[in-house]
Amino acid sequence: MSFSVSRPLLPVVIDHLCRIYPDEDNNTLASRILEAMHLEQGAFTAELHQNKWSESDLWVITYGDSILHPDEAPLKTLKRFSDQYLKPEVSGLHILPFFPYSSDDGFAVINYAQVNESLGDWPDIEAIGADYDLMADLVINHCSQRSQWFENFKQRKDPGKDYFVEADPETDLSEVVRPRTSPLLCETQTLDGIRHVWCTFSHDQVDLDFANPELLIEMVRIIRRYLEQGVRIFRLDAVAFVWKEIGTNCVHLPQTHELVRLLRTLIEAHTEAAIVITETNVPNHENLSYFGNANEAHAIYNFSLPPLLLHALVTGTSAHLKRWQMSMPPAQTGTFYFNFIASHDGIGLRPANGLLSQEDLDELVNTMQSFGARISWRAVSGGTNEPYEINVALYDALQGTSKGPDKWQQQRFLCAHAVMLALEGVPGIYIHSLLATQNDYDKLELTGHNRSINRHRWDYDALTAKLLDQASHHSQCFTAMKNLLKIRSQQPAFHPNAFQAVLHLGDEIFAFWRQSLNRNQSIFCLHNMTDEIVEVPINSINLTSLDVWQDLISGDTYSFEDESLHIPPYGFVWLTNRG
The residues annotated as belonging to the active site are 237
Whether 142 has a binding-site annotation, put simply, is yes
What three-state secondary structure class fits 290? helix
Our measurement of the distance from residue 122's CA atom to the centroid of its chain's CA atoms, rounded to an integer in Å, reads: 24
Q: Judging by beta carbons within 10 Å of its beta carbon (0-12, 13-18, 19+), is residue 187 exposed, middle or buried?
A: exposed
Residues in a beta bridge with 43: 8
**E strand or H helix at 29:** helix 26-36
134 contacts 79 by C-beta, under 8 angstroms:
no
Whether 236 has a binding-site annotation, put simply, is yes
β-strand 564-567 against 534-537: which pairing, if any? antiparallel
**E strand or H helix at 105:** none
Q: What single-letter DSSP state applies at residue 85?
A: I
Q: What single-letter DSSP state applies at residue 98?
A: -
What three-state secondary structure class fits 539? helix
Whether 488 has a binding-site annotation, put simply, is no
Whether 156 has a binding-site annotation, put simply, is no
Among 509, 508, 546, 540, CA closest to 525: 509
> HSE (CB half, 13 Å, CA atoms) of 175?
10
Distances (CA, A) of 481 to 90, 111, 415: 11, 37, 10
Q: What single-letter DSSP state applies at residue 568?
A: P
Whether 344 has a binding-site annotation, put simply, is yes
Can you say which residues are annotated as belonging to the binding site? 104, 142, 235-237, 344-345, 451
Can you say which residues are annotated as belonging to the binding site for substrate? 104, 142, 235-237, 344-345, 451
